[in-house]
Structure 1
């Protein structure tokens, strides 16, 4: 109440049956007695919150913030109360923030509907957080750093409104230039991606995601599951959503400041202007670790710099104007550098040797207004830099002690420029045999296990994924006949849903000639029985040999993440997949450009593209296979995990040599 009365432009109505007035205002017994209320802030014991919420619905109040704790975070009774809360909100079409939250702040109307001691300065940043304590800390810090906010929302348990709800709203809010988030989880991952993609076309989103553990990876049966922990899903999902990831609170607000105040760069090329060689090298190193590139000046710019700078100065990038440079020397250098068509952004680095930082700040402000090129400053001083940094901040130019922070912030600007220019396309809908695939998956209901092995190769064929010629046979005479239908030596593998790592038990024989097929059949069955007497043995697969000399073994797999759904993996395959972990991920459905990006991102991509004289593989075939697997697992949520390992890629095409999968039989 004190926070609301201290600045809110509208009416505040206290509701409490125990009082006749609060802070001199008439107090009502319940919400049904009020009129014209737009927002109800609920701070009553958890057992009576839902009764108050129903009163709000009866009174026509459509916006409610429930600060009260004691719901889903507190045990089974709280979970049931929160479920009931969600139902009431749905019944009355109530937008509800919380429960278990700090409240909300909207500076545009002077409203601080939280129980924090400090409010927010007005600004162009809207900020949401799943931690109320984090908001309190940020408000305390922001006041000392002149960082202002438009809206601040404590999400709490997200019973109704979640991060996607506010991203969608702020995307249309003319008073919000940057959206920030502190996120601990995202419950509706695919919906979040789709919403954020639309918003980031005009409004940048920066998020800190806590909880980077790969929870659940140790329990996964597949290669993909072993590598794809929750952090992998968030990393892929946030990238696909166009959200810029910050790794710390400092980065979060560094990025927010520059994104809210600076124009978009026209290129990734950056110039450094400095009066100190060491800090200039530090900035150069930071650029090497970023997505920015050192700008190459035009011949005309170099001639102008040579004429304008002292003879001892370095006129190449980074431009070193020397330790005794004045603000006027910086001005001359900036006129030339900012006017160079090869320069997309500039960082000005200065140590307090013989220069007045205030004069330098005035020069930077003037040149920034004149040229409109993105700019950051690194004034490497203490007290002498405080007022100049404040002058720069008021003009929209961020200033940092560490040159690397300035470079990182300009790199975030570059990243957002790329996000804005990115064109998303829908995933391809291939012509596939869904009914056949469904029949194959439903066969697992007849077994004691939910695992599938090479007996599921038909599943791939139903979705148009090439497989080697072969058959699964249950007796050795049939194995001999199957081998005769295949040219050359064959590969033979034990087929058992209970034995996933066949190579480890000698369950695979490669290069078997026709005359040895029968004996190899018996050997494989015997090894499987000795390894696991109670295993279900479905037979032996007799398969055409893949040309591994001409091809490269890759892996395409999925692991179903609880927040984002199917997470598609691509990487180097064969026996090295878990050792090297050279893999990349996308949330399904995966489009053709995204599948192509996946190939670009792995370290071993040169192996696919003809490294050391090798002939390039059929990359289009790999891209299509990634897409088809993406479609398969999108069509069938019952598939929890799936690996094609190896997917052998050759210059003539691709072939899925082996498969394993885990199925949720209850979803079939």
Structure 2
């Protein structure tokens, strides 16, 4: 890992391209540094004697002991000055200049050269095409944004500079502070993984936030973020969830975007909490940075407004939280403490004439209940209630109880001073009860991350050479797409398959069927016809006397469907009793960022209709594979729903792990589906396979 400490705590900063010209980036960076930075500022400009009162040097070679160089010159000059800075011993560079990978062919060439320079001199380089970095402990504001950050314990990175400036402006208004802020830009050298790792070791960062449009190396991100999230919560707003959004993100950043399913799976496996909006990002951050984790999912609600309690209850129903059931002792104490008209059951409605003292008594009792993991205080304004007094009571009780508390003091201007008081005590205030519950849900989600156990993937004894022979061109094929002719690949990795053989003549088909015995299944084998069922290219339960005619009929159907199709033959396969089990699918697609993305779900001909699937990034452990079998809606079918005998889920879990090992061992496999993988009480059997590969990688 690179040492980024001097990037955020420099003693001496050089601004290459500093100027006093109004409206210029060079002036904005100098002004921001002048306003707050504790260290030395060195403007670099060969055409000026000083900038904003700071003596200039003509080039970076004339500046000594520079910890951080901020580059704001045009792109065609930037490469030269960055090399000069590196040769003088500068290790940290922020390239604000645009005109690189986001700017066409010439820009891409510049960015590649920038990457080469950074590698040659081992530079910690942020950008290019960014607005800069800031760090509040040393007053560093090396950006050209209009707003500095307030001090705080949240560190934030963004792939969009506009998001940085907008967030800082909004956060100042809300009183939300930051430790470090980074505009990632094009991420030529340093990326999101580097900063997560840096902030994970930073004792002054309590929460890590990110707005990302892409992740450069998904596998590295998962591995490093998984270590960080054990101790520090990481929340990410990942845009580009839709196809249109992904295209817009790619055009914005010049980055290749992987599938949203891969991001969902990868972020979850890394312990990163993905949020859907910037509001959620900071709502959750406020709670995670200021409150303890709950010991249970039970939530107690105390309100003077019944409607707010109903809204909160609805939101709890949409989350992993539960409405806590109070003990008899709590119910009796609430009955004694509250007016007769009040409701002592959860949500506790202490009615509209409640003052701060009544709120306090109800809160004390609810917080003391052993079934309550967290509490939400919901209030509408009234003439007898002082929000300032209530805020003080909430802060005191939260500290005394050690349980997480959120407030929902609804209203406008009258809530401002109370909200500030709550914020000082680490208690966030939300206008909307649903926002408060979503934030508590995030707290509960992070509690699960902290307690999660990670296992090493099982390494099975497999026959890699046999698998390589099946995949190699010239062995049984010369095509990048394979079907049942690749069934031996599964056998090589220990995934059970029925007895079968591919034959080229009707006579051979009759002989194989006789050897297998009993009715057989027959399938056309062609790299040009992957959806065999759609053209009638599959026959099941074929009697031995009908095998000859079935062979000829299958070939005729194939040529009728596509006259120039390559026909490798017909597969004659042992019949598997699908009625005795459940048809599932196990598959993989190779994501450009995260690598092999595994899929498990309900299979057969309806897989694309129901889309009942779960995903993980390979390689997966036994625990992760088992989780996949629990996540699909059809999971009860595996465990014996409606009087059916439960199937061998352990065999499914092992098949997922073996496929995980296969696609990890062979990066040449781009896509692979085993469909159906029939699961019975006795085990699993792979009935069909199709895959696509990159033959150049074999």
TM-score (norm. length: structure 1):
0.97
Which residue pairs with 1:507 in the alignment? 537
Which residue pairs with 2:447 in the alignment? 417
Q: Aligned partners of 1:450, 1:216: CA distance in 2, in Å? A: 31
Which residue pairs with 1:617 in the alignment? 647
Deviation at 1:213, TM superposition (A): 2.0
In structure 1, the gaps of 5 or more residues are 219-227
For residues 264-294 of structure 1, the C-alpha deviation after alignment (integer angstroms, 9 at most, x for no partner) is 1111111101111111011000000011011
Q: Aligned partners of 1:444, 1:68: CA distance in 2, in Å? A: 51
Q: Aligned partners of 1:486, 1:271: CA distance in 2, in Å? A: 65
Q: How does 1:113-128 map to 2 (within 5 A)?
A: 113-128=142-157
Which residue pairs with 2:368 in the alignment? 339
Deviation at 1:5, TM superposition (A): 0.9
Which residue pairs with 2:300 in the alignment? 271
Q: Aligned partners of 1:497, 1:386: CA distance in 2, in Å? A: 68
SS at match of 1:207: strand
Q: Aligned partners of 1:229, 1:88: CA distance in 2, in Å? A: 28
C-alpha contact (below 8 Å) 2:514/2:544 kept by paired residues: yes
Q: Aligned partners of 1:76, 1:400: CA distance in 2, in Å? A: 48
Q: Aligned partners of 1:592, 1:626: CA distance in 2, in Å? A: 9
Most deviating of 552-561 and 305-314: 305-314
Q: Aligned partners of 2:246, 2:76: CA distance in 1, in Å? A: 38
Q: Aligned partners of 1:445, 1:35: CA distance in 2, in Å? A: 64
SS at match of 2:598: strand
Q: How does 1:135-174 map to 2 (within 5 A)?
A: 135-174=164-203
Which residue pairs with 1:466 in the alignment? 496
For residues 523-573 of structure 1, the C-alpha deviation after alignment (integer angstroms, 9 at most, x for no partner) is 111111111121111111111111111111100000111111110000110
For residues 494-539 of structure 1, the C-alpha deviation after alignment (integer angstroms, 9 at most, x for no partner) is 0111100101111100110111111101111111111112111111
C-alpha contact (below 8 Å) 1:214/1:229 kept by paired residues: no
C-alpha contact (below 8 Å) 1:490/1:542 kept by paired residues: yes
C-alpha contact (below 8 Å) 1:121/1:143 kept by paired residues: yes
Q: Aligned partners of 2:549, 2:452: CA distance in 1, in Å? A: 58
Q: What's the Cα RMSD here?
A: 1.5
Q: Aligned partners of 1:348, 1:216: CA distance in 2, in Å? A: 37
Tell me whether 1:319 sits opposite 2:348 in the alignment: yes
Q: How does 1:62-461 map to 2 (within 5 A)?
A: 62-214=91-243, 230-353=259-382, 354-443=384-473, 447=477, 449-461=479-491
How many residues matched?
A: 659
Deviation at 1:488, TM superposition (A): 2.2
Which residue pairs with 2:253 in the alignment? none
Q: Aligned partners of 1:667, 1:329: CA distance in 2, in Å? A: 71
Q: Aligned partners of 2:164, 2:360: CA distance in 1, in Å? A: 41
Deviation at 1:443, TM superposition (A): 2.6
Q: Aligned partners of 1:29, 1:323: CA distance in 2, in Å? A: 71
Which residue pairs with 2:509 in the alignment? 479
Spell out structure 1 runs of 4+ moving beyond 6 A. Answer: 215-218
SS at match of 1:399: coil
Q: Aligned partners of 2:518, 2:270: CA distance in 1, in Å? A: 49
Q: Aligned partners of 2:423, 2:475: CA distance in 1, in Å? A: 65
1:45 pairs with 51, 68, 74, which one? 74
Q: Aligned partners of 1:478, 1:340: CA distance in 2, in Å? A: 76
C-alpha contact (below 8 Å) 1:440/1:459 kept by paired residues: yes
Deviation at 1:489, TM superposition (A): 0.9
Give the direction of change, closer, same or farther, for the CA distance of 1:610–1:114 in structure 2 (3 Å limit).
same
Deviation at 1:584, TM superposition (A): 1.1
In structure 2, the gaps of 5 or more residues are 1-29, 248-256
SS at match of 1:387: helix
Q: Aligned partners of 1:308, 1:330: CA distance in 2, in Å? A: 10
* Higher-RCO chain (CA-CA 8 Å, sequence separation at least 6): 1
Which residue pairs with 1:551 in the alignment? 581
C-alpha contact (below 8 Å) 1:215/1:229 kept by paired residues: no
Q: Aligned partners of 1:167, 1:48: CA distance in 2, in Å? A: 31
C-alpha contact (below 8 Å) 1:449/1:498 kept by paired residues: no
C-alpha contact (below 8 Å) 2:470/2:476 kept by paired residues: no
Give the direction of change, closer, same or farther, for the CA distance of 1:99–1:216 in structure 2 (3 Å limit).
closer
Most deviating of 525-534 and 145-154: 525-534
Deviation at 1:312, TM superposition (A): 2.1
Give the direction of change, closer, same or farther, for the CA distance of 1:395–1:641 in structure 2 (3 Å limit).
same
Tell me whether 1:642 sits opposite 2:672 in the alignment: yes
SS at match of 2:577: coil
Q: Aligned partners of 2:296, 2:366: CA distance in 1, in Å? A: 14
Q: Aligned partners of 1:242, 1:27: CA distance in 2, in Å? A: 47
For residues 31-76 of structure 1, the C-alpha deviation after alignment (integer angstroms, 9 at most, x for no partner) is 1111110000001111121111111111111000000000011011
Which residue pairs with 1:591 in the alignment? 621
